[in-house]
Amino acid sequence: MDDPKGHRQVASVAWLMIRMIFLTIVAEICDAQKYRNYYVDLGGFPECAAANCITSRQLSPSRLGCLEANLTTDCFCSTAVTPLACAPSGPSDEDNCWFELEDWFAGVCGKAGRTAPVIAASGVPACIHDCVFFWLASQGCRTRTRNCFCALPRRVTVDAAEGCLSRNCSSSEQNTFKPAVWRDTICTLGPADASGGEHHDSKLPKWTPLRYREKSP
């Protein structure tokens, strides 16, 4: 004789299994869409840097340290350490072209579910946090992006960090932290998480467009 209660239990278990499978598939689809790999569309590229970047092939994957034949968001937004190195001038507090490039970069990568890698606060001793990041802001790197940090002259960056260290830290901290190694590790080719950077710092808001400053007459 059939047991209605047993049938209901079997049906209930089957329904739960189907529901779990469905939710797993949905989650996998969402994850795949969150970080999608696209070819980079150069439409809308800032005119102030177009001749320097596009026509000179500065944005070719091989120049950026990537293996792909075509420029993808995986390469451009994650692997490339200095994807904006083709800028006609380096970062500065009044360089509108640099700000335009970073805003364009953020838009391209944002569509692929990515954020601009930033310099991790955990990478430097607490005694020089304020000094180092204030200096970065004064150089035009107000959002601490790896794009900006690695575009600054190496010697200038190392000297600034060494100055912060000697003025603010104990002898033991000075002996432990090596500014040149810190800078070179971050600016070595490879994904942000493997080079001392982060995709975003918990103390920072996620990427927002930069506000342009009018150049002084």
Tell me how far apart the alpha carbons of residues 50 and 48 are, in angstroms, rounded to a whole number: 6
Tell me how far apart the alpha carbons of residues 143 and 116 are, in angstroms, rounded to a whole number: 10
Q: How far is CA 38 from CA 28, 55, 75, in A?
A: 18, 21, 10
pLDDT value at residue 50: 92
pLDDT greater than 70 at residue 204 = no
User: Residue 205 domain-assigned?
Assistant: no
Give all strands (DSSP E) within the chain, no chain letters: 118-119, 197-198
Average pLDDT over residues 149-165: 95
User: Residue 35 domain-assigned?
Assistant: no
Q: Which two tokens stand for residue 92?
A: 């500065």
Whole-model pTM: value is 0.68
| Percent of the chain with pLDDT strictly greater than 70 | 69
Q: Each residue of 12-49: pLDDT tens digit?
A: 656 566 655 544 443 443 443 444 677 888 888 999 99
Please name the helix (run of DSSP H) or strand (run of DSSP E) that holds residue 96, with its range, or none.
Answer: helix 96-111
Domain membership of residue 149 as a residue range = 47-198
User: Residue 41 domain-assigned?
Assistant: no
Tell me how far apart the alpha carbons of residues 159 and 37 are, in angstroms, rounded to a whole number: 38
User: Residue 57 domain-assigned?
Assistant: yes
pLDDT value at residue 79: 85
User: Residue 38 domain-assigned?
Assistant: no
Number of domains in the chain: 1
User: Residue 216 domain-assigned?
Assistant: no
| DSSP string over 128-161 | GHHHHHHHHHHTT-TT-BHHHHHHS-HHHHHHHH
User: Residue 8 domain-assigned?
Assistant: no
pLDDT value at residue 185: 92
User: Residue 108 domain-assigned?
Assistant: yes
Q: Each residue of 87-132: pLDDT tens digit?
A: 888 887 666 888 899 999 999 998 888 888 889 888 999 999 999 9
CA dihedral 78→80→85→86, nearest 10 degrees, is -100
